[in-house]
């Protein structure tokens, strides 16, 4: 297996700052709740939340659809639900990457039944060519080609999450 760098640590940090500025411009002093999707959003939500104002709360959900493989099983399960009641709350779902869109479609549906005040999505990465389920992403960091990437929270079988940069993982023949 080999790693081909895609975004450097500095490029990622600049992008996160840019995304925080856009969110700040949209919400002003309104309180917001960032909902991180575990575990991939770990570093993104940590960096993004620290660039937002004091009226920012953080909570997490964990869903599963991949289970140690590179392909989705097509089934989304909630493994850890929110701690915070989101009724009448400005919610931003924070994702590492949107691939087929399956996870986000289900999550948006589930959270919207709880009647948040607003519901948006911020994803650091998006693979538009891989989309099977159309879903809205209000804040996108980088659009990337349909390759398997790791680092900055993204894993392959739980490895590589802690890389400070994002790289394409390819299996050498
Ligand atoms: P989707 O449901 O197909 O959109 O996939 C969403 C989830 O799959 C993401 O939150 C990631 O956890 C995982 N995933 C999708 N593409 C990649 C990738 O290239 N590298 C690592 N994880 C990925
Ligand atoms: Mg994820």
| pLDDT tens profile 115-133 | 999 999 999 999 999 999 9
First to last CA, the chain: 9
- Asked whether 149 lines ligand 1 (CB < 6 A), one says yes
- To test the ligand 1 pocket, which listed residue (37, 66, 70) has its Cβ within 8 A of the most ligand atoms? 66
Strand arrangement of the beta sheet that strand 149-150 belongs to: 2-7, 166-170, 149-150
- The protein residue whose alpha carbon is closest to atom 22 in ligand 1 is 154
pTM value?
Answer: 0.94
More confident residue, 54 or 172: 54
Please report the pLDDT score of residue 13 as a whole number.
98
More confident residue, 70 or 139: 139
Task: List, for residues 14-45, the tens digit of each pLDDT value.
Answer: 999 999 999 999 999 999 999 999 999 999 99
Please report the pLDDT score of residue 160 as a whole number.
98
Please report the pLDDT score of residue 64 as a whole number.
82
In whole angstroms, give the CA distance from residue 169 to residue 1. 7
- Quick one: which atom of ligand 1 is closest to the CA of 95? 10
- Asked whether 94 lines ligand 1 (CB < 6 A), one says no
Nearest to 122 by CA among 33, 9, 3: 33
CA 68 from chain center: how many Å?
18
- Quick one: which atom of ligand 1 is closest to the CA of 66? 8
Please report the pLDDT score of residue 70 as a whole number.
54
């Amino acid at each position: 297996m080999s790693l081909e760098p895609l975004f450097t640590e500095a490029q990622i940090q600049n992008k996160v700052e840019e995304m925080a500025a856009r969110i700040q411009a949209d919400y002003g002093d309104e309180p917001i709740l960032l909902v991180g999707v575990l575990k991939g959003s770990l570093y993104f939500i940590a960096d993004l939340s620290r660039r937002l104002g004091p009226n920012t709360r953080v909570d997490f959900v964990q869903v599963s659809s991949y289970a140690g493989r590179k392909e989705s099983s097509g089934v989304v399960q909630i493994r850890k639900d929110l701690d915070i009641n989101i009724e009448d709350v400005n919610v931003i779902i924070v994702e590492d990457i949107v691939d087929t869109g399956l996870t986000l479609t289900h999550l948006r549906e589930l959270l919207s039944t709880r009647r948040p005040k607003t519901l948006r999505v911020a994803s650091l990465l998006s693979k538009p060519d891989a989309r099977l389920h159309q879903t809205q992403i209000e804040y996108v960091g980088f659009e990337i080609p349909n390759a398997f990437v790791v680092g900055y929270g993204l894993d392959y079988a739980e490895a590589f999450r802690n890389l400070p940069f994002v790289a394409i993982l390819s299996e050498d023949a």
